[in-house]
Amino acid sequence: MAAEQERSRPAGNGAAISNTHTDRSIVLQSGADVRADVDLAIEARLLGELGGNVLDAADIGSYAVEYAVRNWRVFPLRGKLPAIGNPHPQGSVERRECKGECGSHGHGVLDATSDVRTVVSWWGGRYAGANIGGRVPESMFVLDVDPRHGGDETIKAVQDAYGLLPPTLTTVSGRGDGGVHLFFRRPAGVLSPKRIAADFGPGIDVKTSTGYVVLPPSIHPDSGKPYRRVEHPVAAPPHWLVALLRPEQQAVPVTPSPPRRVALGAGPSIAERYNAATGWAEVLEPHGWRCLDGDVDADGARWRHSAATSPHSATIRGGRLYVYSPNTPFDVTESSDPHGYSRFHAYAVLNHGGDMSAAARTLKGVKAA
């Protein structure tokens, strides 16, 4: 992504986030289109009227208030965990089942609010200095890239295969390892990172409005350094990212048809072009696999590799390869943990040891037929 401007004050939670205001002002939203710039001195007087003592613009509580003023729902954190203790006794039914119906705070992300008076009472009182947890707005989702679990390599492989992600509102972790939260406009439907994990690797998570993120300028509990915001309008996710985040679904059996052949130079991405232009025979047969059925690409087609000890080693379902034999370089699929490989992913496993970036670089040199 191109270099963006880092900002210290929070922005509103609309789909498009303005970056025209200065760091010494906040934006009050009363209705969809009404905005008024308010100097922090006015904010300080407002806090005073509400009984708060978080008057210093450098105090993290003033940032929490700004988030609330801009309709972000926030709640206090100790480090990265909710600061308000659960009001129900350990082991009680209420502790397991109550979602805030009791009227008390202490239910994690369900406490999050944009009510300024509540936020002032938290950061102006018992939770002064607490980090800021922000419930993900319903209009957005967050792509969480965690380098500790390989997320930096995974997101690189994804972008090598499909193209760069667009610039968007980003939070940079205070851990200092390059971890980021990327905010995107949320499409309809369920989103899951499982296909990215299966096809590219671990370290990528998806957060929606049922979860929360740590908001800048909260202090990371391990490094003692602040989270930072890289300001940008919240972008719409590219279509290929939405497709990757859709939970994998079984294809409805249909009459098999020959695979559609297209020139490798056409199409939106290397992975998509390869998947569309290549049949399973081209992927598997050079490595000693053979198909036991007439149509090698049909739903239900069975494949067997040369070292197999069972009648068949894998099947094709919904255009993806599911492997059952442990004697191959593929992960074994199980009912509780399915691993469906696209043609591109299978090519990367068989020819590049699973290195998706190397596979994409190789295929860039393939000329259109």
Mean pLDDT of the region 25-34 = 29
Who has greater pLDDT, 16 or 39? 39
The answer on pLDDT for 133 being more than 70 is: yes
Mean pLDDT of the region 143-154 = 94
105 & 184 share domain: yes
Mean pLDDT score across all residues of the chain? 78
Answer yes or no: is 255 within a domain.
Answer: no
Answer yes or no: is 257 within a domain.
Answer: no
Residue at which a domain ends, from 209, 244, 279: 244
Who has greater pLDDT, 27 or 72? 72
The answer on pLDDT for 5 being more than 60 is: no
| Per-residue model confidence (pLDDT) at position 306 | 78
Answer yes or no: is 199 within a domain.
Answer: yes
The pair of three-digit structure tokens given for residue 365, joined into one six-digit string: 């040199």
30 & 124 share domain: yes
Domain membership of residue 331 as a residue range: 270-364
Residue at which a domain ends, from 199, 227, 244: 244
Answer yes or no: is 256 within a domain.
Answer: no
319 & 355 share domain: yes
Answer yes or no: is 262 within a domain.
Answer: no
54 & 163 share domain: yes
135 & 277 share domain: no
Three-state secondary structure string covering the chain: CCCCCEECCCCCCCCCCCCCCCCCEEEEECCCCCEEEEEHHHHHHHHHHCCCCCCCCCCHHHHHHHHHHCCCCEEEEECCEECCCCCCCCCCHHHHHCCCCCCCCCCHHHHCECCHHHHHHHHCCCCCCCEEEEECCCCEEEEEECHHHCHHHHHHHHHHHHCCCCCCCEEECCCCCCCEEEEEECCCCCCCCHHHHHHCCCCEEEECCCCEEEECCCECCCCCCECEEECCCCECCCHHHHHHCCCCCCCCCCCCCCCCCCCCCCCCCHHHHHHHHCCHHHHHHHHCCEECCCCCCCCCCEEECCCCCCCCCEEEECCEEEECCCCCCCCCCECCECCEECHHHHHHHHHHCCCHHHHHHHHHCCCCC
77 & 194 share domain: yes
Percent of the chain with pLDDT over 90: 36
Mean pLDDT of the region 44-66 = 66
pTM of the predicted model over 0.75: no
Q: How confident is the model at residue 366 (pLDDT cuts 50, 70, 90)?
A: low
Q: How confident is the model at residue 161 (pLDDT cuts 50, 70, 90)?
A: confident
15 & 117 share domain: yes
216 & 288 share domain: no
The answer on pLDDT for 88 being more than 80 is: no
Residue pLDDT, tens place only, 221-251: 999 999 999 999 999 999 989 989 987 543 3
